[in-house]
Chain A
Amino acid sequence: MLAMDYRGPKRVRATQKPMPEIKHPQDAIVRVTRSCICGSDLHLYNGNVPDTRVGTTFGHEFCGIVEEVGPEVTKIKVGDHVLVPFNVACGECHFCKQGMFGNCHESNTQASAVGGIFGYSHTAGGYNGGQAEYARVPYANVGPTVIPEGMDPDDAVLLTDVVPTGYQAAEMAGIQKGDTVVVFGAGPVGIMAARCSWLFGAGRVIIIDKEDYRLEFARNYANCEAYNFEKDMDDPVVFIKKQTDFMGADCVIDAVGAEAAGNAMQTITGRKLLLQAGSATAMHWAINSVKKGGVVSVVGVYGPTDNLIPMGNVLNKGLTIRGNQASVKRLLPRLIEHVQNGVINPKALITHRIPLEEVADGYRMFSAKLDNCIKPLLVFPSSNI
């Protein structure tokens, strides 16, 4: 089968690999019909996540047709078109029982902090991902969800990560009616977080980035205020203070994570020298621009080591910091309802369709933000849908 193949930092290719096999009675094999490149894939692509091994296939946003199921799979059957949440979750452990499907304790041997994630390094379980014609999907009774009749697969594939992560970012921010919400990062997740903030009753939503085309997209898609931190302000923290009558935002969402620009020291130590788990510029700004007693919600992905952030201000301002990998399974029923009712339009985020054979160009385009790329979708030779 054709699959994306990681060869080293900023080097990937499409190559022929062996077909996946059933390894556990609750496994399924899925023929992938849609797969996206995620902003968090870029952390792997850039070599920032430890234990990213040459030869692995990335991809944690995918849907596909069930081709084969293990003997204990009862919830889906061969021929079903399913969307596959990015979390590998058993549904039975202490954490899954509490709806924390992003924190499953039975899906990752290599690390205890994070549950299993498809195609996201051995630090997240060592699974091959869905940027391939076929993928092995463990715990097929738990994660994979049949795509509802009439739902566009382009919408469905974004329900595997982007939509739930953006929604949970807004949820974790504890937004109350009338709150001012600031979102750092106008990538797909940040844009979705801005859009979902309104569902929780935000009174004002401001998104900050440095790419004008993304800000323009966010402005139209999420009906939010959008500002360029390189052009519209000298200091993002002071800017937000001025925008909020010098109080600070009620809630701030970090939808950037390890690849943040905007602070030379953070960039050099975090992204160039790898002395930190990525550049924590957005997190730094979030802590300093939220009001006293406010909430910082973190969905931007950082590496597993350390980051330089102003902890003293977390204490002195009495902040609550909430973060997690999205619990996709928990959120799906509500989000499917929102898509079906036209409240959220996920597929509008997709700007590029790239053949799997050209996956290297897709990564480069997304990483370098070429051709006004917001969200690239990989197209498969074996997909007829």
Chain B
Amino acid sequence: MENTLRDPQKLPGWGIDANPENDPTYPMREPRMNVSQDLDSKHRPASLQPEDVELLKSIERPTVSAVFGESAPPVGLSGLIRRFAFKYSESHYGHWLPLLLADRVNVVEGIMEDLGQGKVPNIFAEKGYAAEWKHNRTAFVAKMATIAAVTVGSILILTRDNGKKHKYRY
């Protein structure tokens, strides 16, 4: 495809936000203010959200923030791992790697929770395979066929090995 361009100076709005004083050494245009220039730098909102769920706090902060999300408090084994992670600062692998582990454990907990509620998760639907089927059918079928072939092959190999072991007992 050819790049045939119009004269940029004839584009709507060309240069209207140009600012020769846009100093790229600070991420905002507003004058930089250090903490000593801000006489009220420790200012906090007057009202604080009540802590009615378990909240994990970064050790790089002195306080819980004035508002916070309550979408999924730590629970179960993943919660234990997350509590461990928050003993470390954000600059420490001891913080982030356990959190990634906890996320994966949490996935298994989610499936168990579904099953516990008598609901079998519809993995096909949750993975959005209907979109693949509709818009990318050939590649999708090839991918699924490959997975199925590898799975069946693995089962056959394992089954065959078991059979051999069984024979040697006689």
Contacts and interface: CB of A to CB of B under 8 A. Distances in A.
Interface of A: 7-13, 23-27, 47, 50-57, 72, 88, 90, 92-94, 97-100, 105-113, 116, 122-123, 125-128, 138-139, 171-177, 196, 198-205, 212, 215-216, 219, 223-226, 274, 295, 304-305, 320, 322-324, 327, 330, 334, 338, 341-344, 358, 360-365, 368, 370-371
Contacts, number: 262
B43 A126 contact: no
Contact of B135 (A50, A52, A212, A371): A371
Q: Is the interface of B mostly helix, strand, loop or mixed?
A: loop
A93 B47 contact: no
Contacts of B106: 8, 53-54
A68 to B, nearest CB: 16
A113 B13 CA distance: 35
Nearest to A96: B43
Interface string B105-138: 0110111000000000111011111111011100
A7 B126 contact: yes
Nearest to B13: A343
B101 to A, nearest CB: 9
B8 A176 contact: no
Interface in B50-87: 50, 55-58, 60-61, 64-72, 78, 82, 86
Interface in B3-51: 3, 5-6, 8, 11-20, 22-25, 27-33, 35, 38, 41-45, 47-50
Interface residues of B, number: 82
B80 to A, nearest CB: 14
Contact of B90 (A56, A57, A113, A219): A113
Contacts of A360: 125-128, 130-131
Contact of B71 (A9, A55, A305): A55
Interface stretch (B92-100, B147-155, B161-169): B92-100
Given A53-B71, A199-B15, A216 B27 contact: no
A199 B13 contact: yes
A373 to B, nearest CB: 9
20 contacts: A7-B111, A50-B99, A55-B71, A55-B110, A57-B71, A92-B45, A106-B44, A110-B68, A127-B68, A173-B24, A175-B22, A198-B8, A198-B11, A198-B15, A304-B96, A305-B96, A338-B13, A343-B13, A358-B130, A364-B131
Contacts of A371: 131, 134-135
A98 B43 CA distance: 13
Nearest to A228: B1
B33 A97 contact: yes
B6 A116 contact: no
Given A57-B71, A125-B68, A295-B24, A370 B135 contact: yes
Nearest to A222: B11
Contacts of A224: 5
